[in-house]
Chains A and B, each alone.
Chain A
Amino acid sequence: MFKIARLEIRKSRKKYTKTFIPIILIFIILAILSSHYSTTTGVKSDYMLYTIATPYKIDDPHFVRYRMTANEAMPYLKSGDIDIALDGRPPYMILGGTKKSLAAADELLKLIEDLFESELHKRYGINAFPVFVKAEYLKRELVYQLDLQKANKKAESVDKEEIEKKETKTEKEMREEIAKETVKERTAIDGDTATGFVKTKTEYEYTTPDDFHPPSLLEKLIYAFFFIIPSYFAIQVFSASLIEDRIAKRIDLLLSTPISESDFLLGKLIPYILFSLIAVVSVSMIFRESIISVIFVFPVIIFFASLQMFLALISRSYRETTFLMIVSSLIVTAYIFIPSVFAGTIPVSKVSPITLMLAMFEGESIGIKDYIFSTFQFYAMAFVLVFMSSKALNPEIMHSAADLHHRILMTVQRAVRRDYHAFFASIASIPFIFMVEFLLLSILFIMPPEQSIPIFLAVVAFVEEVFKGTVVFAAYRNGAPLYKSAVFCSLGFFMGEKLIVILNIATQYNTILFAQYYVLPLLIHLTTMLVFALILRRSFAAALAVSSLLHFIYNYAVVILL
């Protein structure tokens, strides 16, 4: 393995010569300067977006002002050339009928409100702000429910009792802390009441009711990008190097030596992982954050690298790799960053290690349980992908001209040879299904529930059937008994779901996988897979369609009934 790693480093040295490295450095410096400049300047591309007709002076670059009265502006408002008019004393606003005019009115109202508040501060000082708020968020571990369906009541009461036992200690600590803090705060406030506007805000984290918002790590999110981006580049170079070896048939040559497939892959990967880790440590040091951040970024890096490894091996050409790389990078980025947006408010945010990293930067302590919960899936997927890549290291697959899904099937076929292999293969597919379904949850956010819930359930059913169907099909093509493989596959899937429940890894997500109903899921997995097997002899597509439909009907019925 280390021999391969050394070889890889030697190969890179030939490419990244003394003349080429300065060029890369210049590009990197340019990228850093550009992002630094943009963050300090802020977004200005939304300037001059709205048009306003008013005799008053408007000091805001978002508005292009036309000096006219509301009456004069009327024809332009109607034609949509001007968005809003502001006129009169007391002032009133006239909106053109477009969506844009509503947006312009909203922005203008906010602007006026801000001006009003600062005017109050100028005139009356702190006296104009009689109320300040500070919120503290206390963790109480109740069982979470998704709005889609109610959680199983029985399981809930058992869980609650257990959790309450654990909770007493932290609750006690919390109370002592609150008591201490209150004493401190009172003396501070009593001692110096007229601390003034700004100081009050920063010293005690109090805000006016208008400025009070639920906590968000959104601003910190951009910060997290700096920890991840360097690794993306390292991994990009890794997959490029791998695909180059593949196309130049260097891999074929190495495979004829006694080196094993996994040694070859891991050996190739090691230099890039090391580089990524060094980059994370350096970024942590630059930002003066704890280098423990590495343990949060590491699972993401190895998952992303193994995904790129697999894609580089099964894509046909450079072009296909480029596309698959862009799509997969976006998906992975979304999967690790979007949950952090909801950090602290929605339990699902903890599915991403990045949320935990940002929480750590904010001074929170992260428990082992949380760490395992958010990273286990990444480690598991990385393991499965390296395994699958080792199966794809086959001249027949690497140099085949078949479609992408055929290549994937050929790879699965090399992994699932006997009927009982289907059992393990379907367990291995669960972390991937979980990721896909989690991303699909976003459908629920962008569409009204009447449409989004059925669509979501249908897609979930389809995704699960695709994974299971591929496994069974692969076993069948290897000559394994069809029905036995189908039974093994559904048993594996069922066991995998239950394993998640038992290990309590994804307490909050059982509802997504419908895992809380004990016997029903097994029945549905068995039924759909047997029906799939029955039709498979005729056509894969038809079998998939029927089993997905059955699965969807079941999902839908569960949601409607509960």
Chain B
Amino acid sequence: MKALKIALKDLKSTTKERTFITVIVLQLFVALFASVLTFGLLVLYNPSFAGLTVDTEVKVGFVGNAPILEAIIEPSKKYNSIGNALDDFYAGKIDAIVWLPNENVSGTNFVRLYLPKEEIKAIQTSIVIKEKLIKYQKVMRDLRGIPSSIEIKTYSTDLKEIDVPKDVSIPFKFIYVVLIPLLMITTAATAAGIFIDMVSEEIETKTIHVLLATPLKPEDIVGGKILAAFLLAAILTPTWIFLLMLNRVDMHNPHFVIIMALSMVLLFISFASITVAIAKDRERSQLLYSLAIIALIPLQFISPYTPAGLVARIAANSPFNPLHVLFYLITSILLLIPSQKVLKIVFEKI
């Protein structure tokens, strides 16, 4: 009860500072930052997917004696020398040059492309030319009697033929493998970060002496601080899950996602307690804590059994073992006990 009172007092001052809104903004920002990165990837590899209209009317100049390639490229102009083609390229009359000095039906053909640098057009042009070169490869393979491509038909469950958009797996994986784990980690990291501030502030401003002079026990104070940070995360987690759902992301097994996210919060609070116990003041504890976070984040992605891997599968409705979720929950609760003890000793010694 006493711990709850302390927790509510701390939460109250947190809401007064509009911290909650800042964290939501923070999470939105993480989502935005990550989306733009994915967008970058998509636009570079497949602009039509990212919603950019690919202008197929790119003006390509062609140089060389290569009738098959020329017929496939359908150049807007043919040049007899690379110099003339470059003239028009620099003058902006053509957007790209395709150059194959001599076509070799039985050997290897080395095609050179000249594209404009630092222009959005370069992406569009290279995509158009890429498609044509793939076609050229197919024709050349056919001429050599080599199977040119493999075709697999795709059907829906009512056996109608459907189209699988290229690279559709990139945004899917981004949401489940990157974004959801990142949101889980940021929530935990911020909640534990606040925990450090709440504890170190009491130590540095010496208000801890006042608190200890009251009938409150040190474990009540530590418990209250942990509870405050935990409650903040407990409000934040359903918020980002809801925001994702609002964005039409399918969130499967939300209860397991919440348990995983809150276990992470407890885990991070344990790390935070240890850093405060070592350093005591805010400056050094935050430094140690950030270093610990930096060390932890990359490790999240190295196995499907890490919290990040597990939460990805839980949210995406992929096979997972609920016992693994239980394992993380129990471990995080068990780790809290020694860290709470350590902090209690710190408080008593002050």
Q: Using CB atoms and an 8 Å cutoff, list the residues of chain A in contact with chain B.
A: 15-16, 20, 23-24, 27-28, 30-31, 33-35, 37-39, 41-51, 64, 74, 77-78, 80, 90-100, 102-107, 109-110, 112-113, 116, 120, 124, 126-140, 142, 144, 167, 171, 174-175, 178, 182, 185-186, 189, 193, 200, 204, 206, 208-210, 212-214, 216, 218, 229, 233, 236-237, 240-241, 243-244, 247-248, 316-324, 326-327, 330-331, 333-334, 338, 341-342, 344-347, 349-350, 403-404, 442, 445-446, 448
Contacts and interface: CB of A to CB of B under 8 A. Distances in A.
B204 interface: yes
Given A323-B26, A345-B118, A442-B39, 5 more contacts: A102-B164, A131-B137, A233-B287, A244-B282, A445-B35
B156 A338 contact: no
26 contacts: A31-B292, A34-B294, A37-B298, A46-B177, A49-B316, A50-B318, A74-B157, A77-B157, A80-B317, A92-B154, A93-B155, A97-B157, A209-B130, A213-B45, A214-B126, A218-B40, A236-B290, A243-B282, A244-B281, A317-B17, A317-B197, A318-B197, A319-B13, A320-B17, A327-B26, A445-B35
B89 interface: yes
A100 B172 contact: yes
B313 A212 contact: no
Given A212-B133, A317-B201, A323-B26, A28 B123 contact: no
Contacts of B333: none
Given A15-B281, A209-B137, A317-B201, A120 B119 contact: no
A80 B181 CA distance: 23
A112 B83 CA distance: 42
Contact of A103 (B18, B134, B168): B168
Nearest to A445: B39
B229 to A, nearest CB: 11
Contacts of A51: 318-319
Chain B contact surface mostly: helix
A124 B201 CA distance: 71
Interface residues of B, number: 123
Nearest to A27: B291
Contacts of A140: 89-90, 92, 116-117, 119
Contacts of B22: 323-324, 327
B122 interface: yes
Given A137-B116, A330-B30, A15 B109 contact: no
B111 interface: yes
Contact of A347 (B119, B155, B164): B119
A126 B164 contact: no
B86 A175 contact: yes
A34 B112 contact: no
Given A136-B115, A330-B30, A323 B23 contact: yes
Nearest to A86: B152
B345 interface: no
Which of A92, A144, A316, A324 gathers the greatest number of chain B CB atoms within 10 Å? A92
